[in-house]
């Protein structure tokens, strides 16, 4: 059985940045993210500098199965990669294979 690649903080942050780009590509997706997080469009750049912002992006994706699958399909990754990245950024212990 093939082992899945190790998830590092850098790779988890990369997934989250790609997720933010995915949200930003569609005004409806971005508007929903901003509305649910309470972040205004004018303060998005400042919010992105906050330590838990990328975790929030992945939480948002993980909380919407349709959105999660659309993102995973676009990136050609398994949805579990998003979950693993989210867990790593949240400080959860890594899952055993």
Question: Does a structural domain hold residue 2?
Answer: no
Point out the residues of the chain with pLDDT beneath 70.
Answer: 1-5, 92-97
Structural contact between residues 68 and 79, judged by C-beta atoms closer than 8 angstroms? yes
pLDDT of residue 68: 97
pLDDT of residue 2: 45
Question: Does a structural domain hold residue 47?
Answer: yes
Cβ neighbours of residue 44 closer than 8 Å, sequence gap 6 or more: 34
Question: Does a structural domain hold residue 95?
Answer: no
Structural contact between residues 41 and 48, judged by C-beta atoms closer than 8 angstroms? no
Structural tokens at position 37: 């997080």
Question: Does a structural domain hold residue 52?
Answer: yes
pLDDT of residue 5: 66
Question: Does a structural domain hold residue 4?
Answer: no
Count of domains for the chain: 1
Question: Does a structural domain hold residue 28?
Answer: yes
Domain that holds residue 16: 9-90
> b/e string for 51-60 if b means 16 or more Cβ within 10 A?
eebbbbbbbb
Cα–Cα distances in Å, from 32 out to 9, 26, 69, 82? 27, 10, 17, 19
- Whole-angstrom Cα distance, residue 10 to residue 26? 25
For 6, which DSSP code? P
């Amino acid at each position: 059985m093939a082992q899945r690649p190790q998830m590092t903080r850098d790779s988890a942050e990369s997934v989250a940045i790609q997720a933010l780009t995915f949200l930003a590509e569609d005004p409806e997706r971005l508007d929903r993210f901003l509305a649910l997080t309470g972040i205004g469009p004018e303060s998005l750049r400042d919010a992105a500098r906050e330590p838990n912002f990328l975790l929030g992006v992945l939480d948002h994706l993980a909380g919407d199965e349709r959105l999660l699958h659309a993102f995973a399909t676009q990136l050609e990754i398994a949805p579990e990669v998003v979950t693993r990245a989210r867990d790593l950024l949240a400080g959860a212990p890594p899952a055993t294979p």
